[in-house]
Amino acid sequence: MSVRDWALGKLREADAVVAADPVGDDFIHIERKKYRPFTTAAISCNHVATSSVDDLLDSGVQFEFIANIPRQAIWSGDAINQAVRHGLGWGGFGDLLRVIGKEVVAGYQNPEYSFVERGLRQHTRVSGLNRIFDRVFEIERRGLDNVTVVLLNEYEVVAEHIREIRDVYQEFDFVLKTNPNGRITSAAYEVARNIGVEIHAWGELLGRINKP
């Protein structure tokens, strides 16, 4: 079964969906109970690159959303920027289900990312943001060096989470725990210190950005 066909089956089970029909090889047209219909791409990439988005744009199909199905996939910043430039929403299958319940599909991104991005852009010390990956931002600071932050949405941050994101993203300065609930374990703090990074909750990060 293709990823598109798997997504078709799941969408047809969704309460907010009236109908879901295949379009070409990689797209699904979705009719919704509450809002106007739209078309989404359904792809399966462990690493969504700019070429992945370009291939969809070159297909000739008019669409508003890109759903990448693998749960542990990574989106490059360039791929995200390409999607945003064309007014596309983007995310995983859970994001697709979420956006079905929203009137506006175009330009959607996960609320976790939107919250962090908006908050950082409004910070008086921040002069710019560069999206490196979906969960990684480079923060340009007025009068201070740039820093890189990785977003980690876990209830309890443990040592293995820090090791895993180090393997995936290599170099970064801060880890931001975006889940407001739960805790950061002492073992996670210890691993972070050993590799030369800091872990912060949201309010702590906003204060830390002001310091060298």
Q: What is the pLDDT of residues 71-99, one digit of tens each?
A: 999 999 999 999 999 999 999 999 999 99
pLDDT category at 194 given cuts 50, 70, 90 is: very high
Q: State how far the Cα of 107 lies from the Cα of 53, in Å rounded to an integer.
A: 14
Going through 37-178 in order, the beta strands assigned E by DSSP cover: 38-43, 47-48, 65-68, 74-75, 89-91, 126-133, 136-141, 144-152, 156-157, 174-177
Q: Confirm if 15 and 100 have CB atoms less than 8 A apart.
A: no
Residue showing tokens 């060298």: 212
Closest CA to 148 of 124, 121, 178, 169: 169
pLDDT category at 20 given cuts 50, 70, 90 is: very high
Q: What is the pTM of this model?
A: 0.95
